[in-house]
Structure 1
């Protein structure tokens, strides 16, 4: 089924997309206030520190490469991507998309600290031993030492005497164990149970005003607890804190230059994934409370900016592929095959050579970036001259549901458009071709993918001139599913694969991301 958009609406949409900023959501309201979330995208398992006037925010990236993203901000509201700690994931052939790949695993819940002039980052690749990465600069280079054990969701903490610890607990139990590290944070010298908090994981530890504070997520309740003690080894007293209904369930606090504190917390938000909220903190009887005294333990939807006077900033999203390096907003679905992509074979274009695969779920070199809410439109301008028979190359969503609008190469140079939906299930990927092939001629096309996270629906379409657009197929669902999806919110994907090794290539001239205009579907 094909729907033709009105020419006037298409032209208006193009003008709006050109005029608006690339970021779909703007937290900074320009009047001294901000709205939550600070980034309307999937930045899960936050850990935030302050180093002088800079804040650094590290987030989980699973099997995506490059991995372990760190963002930088001056005010906790306006963020840019500073670096990725891991250029390529190592230690497991599945990171190269072998043996079924490693979706839903990879690098979880890192913890970041600054100590003696060095940045230290603790992270545990799922099923592997914990690593302590280190660098003198936030943008690297980073090296790591592997510990002798696996510490789930490690919480790196440096005490006032300089002793370093890792806190770890698993939600299926709740026993919080503290591992003592040696002077250069390269080995474990001791381990001791510090506390039992039923169902606790995602630990974070800070020290303030003579108390140690332990923050834990309780995933079974989508809630957070705060514990305090005069000693790391207890006794601890615990109080409930916020939950997903009042703002989030996994996070901690960061100190401000003026001595005040702000909280950061992850909230499960459906198909977009898990987002981070920022909240003022007030103190009462030596307990930290999220929110304000008139609304305790409620993360405000809107609040004065923590630090005023800093300009708007955002992670990049749109790309004209004019650089010789891939933009920091992009990640591959697993480690890429670097012989299958190039920014230099045709300057000004990203060239994706077809990888051999039977579908997008098993196709290496699928290029992704985070989808953005609440409503977004992605457009890729492509050149199809390099498409060969059997190639399936295009744009769409990636995650629990993979909706591709792809150019399919046929015999004797024929090409057609096909919309197909692949759902990740417990029995493996299941693909449904949603519309018959649509013959196309000419080598330049614009492909479009819309995602509306309010309605949890997406839609794809194409244009021959970037003015008159045609929807292809009906709306497709958007969803988050940690059991069978990617354990991430829906992503945007550019892919190119072929069931045979004799594939061609797709040239992408530009990619633009903008808010979905008022009145546009889905």
Structure 2
């Protein structure tokens, strides 16, 4: 390998359903955020290989009452990002409510409040297109069978050029049921290229699917189809669902995801060219590349979305998301000694999967060690705080105040489903109310937990195999909680969070 090549994945964590746009010399990427808050992450790059997280376009999820609790299968599904009329536009589908959009004059905002463009259950994966030559605008979307009973088809609409509403009831423009071998067609991205409408859309399911391309002289069809990227003899399962972008120099590239179990949907970059027959050719003749020549763009220093956090002034970084809309006072502002989380009282305090006040970030796709220092100031029996690996099953390590007022180090886990927490190791006295907590996440997302109470690291419990949630990879989480009851229950302070490659 040389400095002139890159390796896939270029984003080795759960940046699900990516889409990308170029504005001048800058590239911007957004991804699904489902029920986590803030939503619609915004990533920036100058070379399509090195990316940084620069913000989010969605401060809270609406309606407010529906997202006061975790909803990992709701919220923001498969957004599309475009730049039109000197504004950024992001459209997405909420499978329970319909098609939404936000827009902004700059990537860092201010972003508009979400606008419901089209109401309806099961409307997902929308993508707009403005035809600058005719002044007309269009939108295409897919369907979620879980909400509508419909799937495997793409519906097209004329859209008002202001992006605020649709102008017709729409019609099916690609019916996957009429294409032999095609199933679970979704995630369309709409483009104009050399006088044709193009829809780049995946099919075949998350784990084993492929990338399709459809072309037509008219927006409403008829469309021809072709498979343009599939696994072949590579190790990249289900390479599909992403976005096409062209550099200022005229090079074409395609970003897509690969489902990797507990790691979620990691992002690959594929070279793209147009064949003599006018169809796009992705990767190495239609199969994914593991490494390739970098885009012909100015060299950039290595960069990746942040993971470490010193919580300056008590603030947490952009990489953190709550598992639901946050409440006032969950994080104490202007704290000089770290991130202070309130031990929020909740009847579900014994199951992290139902708590909205868990602060999370993505599990890296490579082996790593996560560590954080914790001080428990929770005053009520049952007050607890810790570091977790969250999914359908979860495990955590941290501190808990017992009924006798003492603090102890605990390590607990819960199996997939609604089973209760169980001890993964015997509790240990932690009289100082402090601990350094560590999770070594090895190959296959197999996690070993350990702790240091001031006398050196000690292992805690057996290996825990991290699991994904529905549509979402596993997450690292920080939390503070207490059983339901009156009055304040104290707080917990986290300092020096680090994620170190292994």
Give the TM-score, by structure 1 length. 0.87
Give me the whole-angstrom Cα distance separating, in 1, the residues matched to 2:95 and 2:285.
36
Give me the whole-angstrom Cα distance separating, in 1, the residues matched to 2:416 and 2:39.
22
Residue 115 of structure 1: aligned partner:
84
CA contact (8 A) 1:396 1:460 kept: no
Of the three residues 407, 412, 417, the one matched with 2:409 is 417
Q: Deviations over 1:235-292 (max 9, x none)?
A: 211111223565412123111111120011111111100111101112211111112x
CA contact (8 A) 1:424 1:430 kept: no
Q: By how many angstroms is 1:193 displaced?
A: 2.7
CA contact (8 A) 1:281 1:290 kept: yes
Residue 382 of structure 1: aligned partner:
374
Residue 82 of structure 1: aligned partner:
54
- How many aligned positions are there? 473
CA contact (8 A) 2:100 2:118 kept: no
Task: Sort the Cα spacing of 1:324 and 1:385 in 2 relative to 1 into closer, same or farther, 3 A.
Answer: closer
Of the three residues 436, 461, 477, the one matched with 2:450 is 461
Corresponding residue SS for 2:262: helix
Q: Deviations over 1:488-517 (max 9, x none)?
A: 11110111111233522111122111112x
Corresponding residue SS for 2:66: helix
Q: By how many angstroms is 1:429 displaced?
A: 4.5
Determine if the alignment matches structure 1 residue 93 to structure 2 residue 65. yes
Q: Deviations over 1:67-111 (max 9, x none)?
A: 1111111111111112211111121423111xxx42221111111
Task: Sort the Cα spacing of 1:444 and 1:300 in 2 relative to 1 into closer, same or farther, 3 A.
Answer: same
Q: Give the 5 Å matches for 1:265-344.
A: 265-284=256-275, 285-291=277-283, 295-306=284-295, 307-323=297-313, 325-344=315-334
Residue 496 of structure 2: aligned partner:
510
Give me the whole-angstrom Cα distance separating, in 1, the residues matched to 2:231 and 2:8.
13
Q: Return 5+ residue gaps in structure 2 as ranges.
A: 145-149, 178-182
Q: More deviation in 487-496 or 160-169?
A: 160-169
CA contact (8 A) 2:253 2:271 kept: yes
Give me the whole-angstrom Cα distance separating, in 1, the residues matched to 2:221 and 2:356.
49
Residue 147 of structure 2: aligned partner:
none
CA contact (8 A) 2:16 2:257 kept: yes
Q: Deviations over 1:328-384 (max 9, x none)?
A: 01111111122121142x313111111122321222311101110210111001122
Of the three residues 184, 192, 195, the one matched with 2:162 is 184
Corresponding residue SS for 2:489: coil
Corresponding residue SS for 1:271: helix
Residue 480 of structure 2: aligned partner:
496
Residue 219 of structure 2: aligned partner:
232
Residue 432 of structure 2: aligned partner:
442
Q: Give the 5 Å matches for 1:35-434.
A: 35-97=7-69, 101-143=70-112, 144-150=114-120, 151-160=123-132, 161-170=134-143, 173-190=151-168, 191-198=170-177, 199=183, 200-220=185-205, 221-244=208-231, 246=234, 247=236, 248-284=239-275, 285-291=277-283, 295-306=284-295, 307-323=297-313, 325-344=315-334, 346-355=335-344, 356=346, 357-425=349-417, 428-434=418-424
Give me the whole-angstrom Cα distance separating, in 1, the residues matched to 2:280 and 2:286.
9
Residue 17 of structure 1: aligned partner:
none
Give me the whole-angstrom Cα distance separating, in 1, the residues matched to 2:411 and 2:78.
35
Give me the whole-angstrom Cα distance separating, in 2, the residues matched to 1:510 and 1:365.
20
Structure with bigger RCO (C-alpha 8 Å, 6+ apart):
1
Task: Sort the Cα spacing of 1:420 and 1:55 in 2 relative to 1 into closer, same or farther, 3 A.
Answer: same
Q: Deviations over 1:271-315 (max 9, x none)?
A: 100111101112211111112xxx311221111111241122221
Give me the whole-angstrom Cα distance separating, in 2, the residues matched to 1:494 and 1:255.
39
Give the TM-score, by structure 2 length. 0.90
Corresponding residue SS for 1:413: coil
Give me the whole-angstrom Cα distance separating, in 1, the residues matched to 2:17 and 2:350.
33
Give me the whole-angstrom Cα distance separating, in 2, the residues matched to 1:69 and 1:52.
20
Corresponding residue SS for 2:220: coil
Q: Deviations over 1:125-182 (max 9, x none)?
A: 2201211211111111111321232331101222233322210122653222112111
Q: More deviation in 456-465 or 45-54?
A: 456-465
Task: Sort the Cα spacing of 1:376 and 1:343 in 2 relative to 1 into closer, same or farther, 3 A.
Answer: farther
CA contact (8 A) 1:120 1:134 kept: yes
Give me the whole-angstrom Cα distance separating, in 2, the residues matched to 1:328 and 1:348.
19
Give me the whole-angstrom Cα distance separating, in 1, the residues matched to 2:285 and 2:71.
41
Give me the whole-angstrom Cα distance separating, in 2, the residues matched to 1:51 and 1:440.
54
Q: By how many angstroms is 1:386 displaced?
A: 4.0
